Amino acid sequence: MTRTEATAVAGRPPLAPAFAFPVIDRFLHARPSAVVGLRRETKTVVSLEVERPAGFRYRAGHYAMLRLETEEGPDMRPLSIASAPDDGSLEFATRVGPSAFKRALVALQPGAAVKVSRPMGSFHFERSRPAVIVTGGIGITPLRSMLRDAAATGHDQPIRLLYGNRSVDEIAYRHELEQLAGSDPLLQITWALSDPAGFAPAIGDAHVGRIDERLLRRQLEELPDAVFYLTGPAAMVTEVRTVLRDLRLPPRRLRMSTQTLPIDRKSRSH
Ligand SMILES: Cc1cc2nc3c(=O)[nH]c(=O)nc-3n(C[C@H](O)[C@H](O)[C@H](O)COP(=O)(O)OP(=O)(O)OC[C@H]3O[C@@H](n4cnc5c(N)ncnc54)[C@H](O)[C@@H]3O)c2cc1C
């Protein structure tokens, strides 16, 4: 198979030729780190724990470039930091896939060398306002960081998490999210599942189907001053953003991560 054929089935070629990586590393302040371990969160999502480089400081919602050696040479991807700033190590979570990068990631063994760039991005939580978090699938990663951080450092505003997935076995961090909500009366979770078969949530409400206009309208009515945080698959982000616009949510009260922005880059909120 030629490289072109391989690319079509197995993801992008490396971001840059190998000889350019020392320069990219310097530009991104990429620092060496070692793998602590990999954990399977769902059938299709794995989390990766790595040592926190000395002096690595970040805010919940930041992302970093994770640099790995793949069978096609060095490569990197931006990944949201899923751990909270007070956690001892750094955690990322990703959907597994056929690209050389993802194959290298799932094959990492404890002690393996990786590199982590400086933290980047401006998708952060506004503590002083009620929050409605709307996400789906792997879009949970920066929000898991924010929720862990809010639990660790305390907050006094209501937080609603609307988390959409196809089925119960695709919910990443389910038990941890249940624990967080179980010990925090200000945090409420709605699990939106297209296929709710076998789902009996210990904590939170179940919503059958997608995160729709009715569900979003209710949040706006109950928390009229809330800031909305939106991440997830591009199609979902586009749909939810359109509904919120139609419901007259002021644009300044919508925060979207660059993680999963739809095609329309001009409307990026940060
Ligand atoms: C700020 C930010 C934060 C992010 N955080 C996360 C995170 O926490 N977790 C996470 O999983 N992802 C995250 N992402 C996305 C991540 O960086 C990767 O893009 C994503 O995981 C896919 O990587 P991949 O190696 O599987 O696919 P890639 O090789 O990067 O391919 C990306 C997409 O393009 C398609 N594609 C690739 N090559 C071709 C081709 N030749 N022709 C047509 N289509 C092609 C692939 O099918 C795939 O859908 C984030 C992105 C950003 C910008």
pLDDT at res. 23 = 93
Better-scored residue on pLDDT, 92 or 201: 92
DSSP assignment of the chain, as one string?
--HHHHHHHH-PPPSS-GGGHHHHHHHHT-EEEEEEEEEE-SSSEEEEEEPPPTT----TT-EEEEEEEETTEEEEEEEE--S-TTSSSEEEEEE--SSHHHHHHHT--TT-EEEE---B------TTS-EEEEEEGGGHHHHHHHHHHHHHH---S-EEEEEEEEEGGG-TTHHHHHHHHHT-TTEEEEEEEEE-TT---SSSEEEESS--HHHHHHHHHH-TTPEEEE-S-HHHHHHHHHHHHHTT--GGGEEE-GGG--S-GGG---
We find that the CATH architecture of domain 3-116 is Beta Barrel (2.40)
Which residue's C-alpha comes closest to atom 31 of ligand 1?
11
Pick from 49, 77, 229, 237 the residue to mutate for probing ligand 1's pocket: most ligand atoms within 8 Å of its CB. 77
How sure is the predictor about 202, in pLDDT bands with cuts at 50, 70 and 90? confident
Cα 78 to averaged position of ligand 1 atoms, centre (Å): 9
Domain boundaries, the chain: 3-116, 131-267
pLDDT at res. 11 = 72
Minimum-distance ligand 1 atom for the alpha carbon of 79: 5
The answer on pLDDT for 45 being more than 50 is yes
Is residue 8 in contact with ligand 1, taking CB distance under 6 Å?
yes
Query: Full-prediction pTM beyond 0.85?
Result: yes
| pLDDT tens by residue, 57-69 | 999 999 999 999 9
Cα 164 to averaged position of ligand 1 atoms, centre (Å): 20
Is residue 98 in contact with ligand 1, taking CB distance under 6 Å?
no
Assign domain 131-267 to a CATH class: alpha beta
**For 259-267, what is the mean pLDDT?**
48
